[in-house]
Structure 1
Amino acid sequence: MSRRLKDYYGLLSVARNATQSDIKKAYVKLAKLYHPDLHDNNDPKFTSKQEMFKEITEAYSILNNPRKRSVYNTELYEVEKATNLRDGSSVPLEPKLYEMSAEEKEALGKQIKKIRFRKVRRLFIIVLALFVIGWYAKFKYIFLRMYNRDIGNKVIFKDKEGVDAEVISEVNRRFSAELARVREEREKQGILRQPTKKMGTAATANTNTVEKE
């Protein structure tokens, strides 16, 4: 066995296809033997028992967790497979020893469902937020179009947020040009009316002169 990979099954004295219930029973049994609180500090074996308790606690934390146990089993299988190849052993490892029990598969399945549910819920919230933002921008655009229009039925946006600045500039330019044109036409009409008024005054004066004569 590699020094970098501990034999947790051996520490708890359980088979590699043991159920979580079997692993828990084995841990409780060993904890009663090695727990520091159950031994005197003056006991010559106190330190070794304390270290042993740490080891079995570590083993239990790995083997009692379906996901961690699955990862550990895969690593254990690869290490022993490499060891057999290096030693020239032709004895194949039994894959069944590294398969999870029905209880472990059920627990792992529940964890996977929880993870998937969290991902789906997060995705749903993001999509909903984008949908709301999109409709808000659309209604805001429509409202601005209905609220503020110029002579040529072109929109003048007071709020430039989300609107192309070039479009705003072009609309305002056309509006200014149209306004100038209207003013110019009105000024011309005023100029043309002045001679008409003078001519009318002259005609009235001539009429009065004729009457006097």
Structure 2
Amino acid sequence: MSKPHDHPGSPHAAHAAFDPQWWEDHYREHPVKHQSPSPQLVAEVTGLPAGSALDAGCGGGADALWLARQGWQVTAVDVSPTAVSAAEGSAAHHDQEIASRISWVVADLTTWQPPTRYDLVVSQYVHPTVPFTEFVARLAEAVGPDGTLLIVGHDQADEHSAAHAPDDASISLDAATGSLSPDVWDVEVAEPRIRHTEHDSTRVVIRDLVVRAHRRSL
């Protein structure tokens, strides 16, 4: 569920922001193009021993593909059938051994029950229809002992997100960490970060919120 851009007159107006049909309309209107993996993902996951990973809100699949290249066995989930189909098609053009490490799933992350726990759960720029603290709690349940949870979103100080997305597209530190009990979790990273990107041929500053937490072994 990559970061959307909402424009007046778009079909998004017919649906509640960020509900499943909204995302499907988004990906139909804005077909997935070549993407690079998230710099926050690369920074936080490089060096971790590869195992099983859940890419929760895989969008165009660039992050799932990067994880697979690093040796992870990836379950990539998104609510949009169009996004998942495009991501799977893109992955098929890569080395077959790498592509075979990814299982693609169309599902709503606010109701989907993961079939197992994972060594790594990643969720980036996902905007659920439930309170974000509740969403993080669901993701945290999918992390196995000694596993890692990585949450990346638009910081509340991100002016670009505020100007180009529906309300509630940004997250707070409290929302991202509030459901991570200190009895279970060590929050190792919890900070805003700045990155630069291109939007309509203009270089813009994006302010992300990055949270990485480690679940203690039982």
Q: Which of the two has greater helix per residue?
A: 1
Q: Which of the two has greater strand per residue?
A: 2
The two structures have a TM-score, normalised by structure 1, of 0.21
Specify the structure having the higher radius of gyration (Cα).
1
Larger relative CO (CA 8 A, sep 6+): 1 or 2? Answer: 2
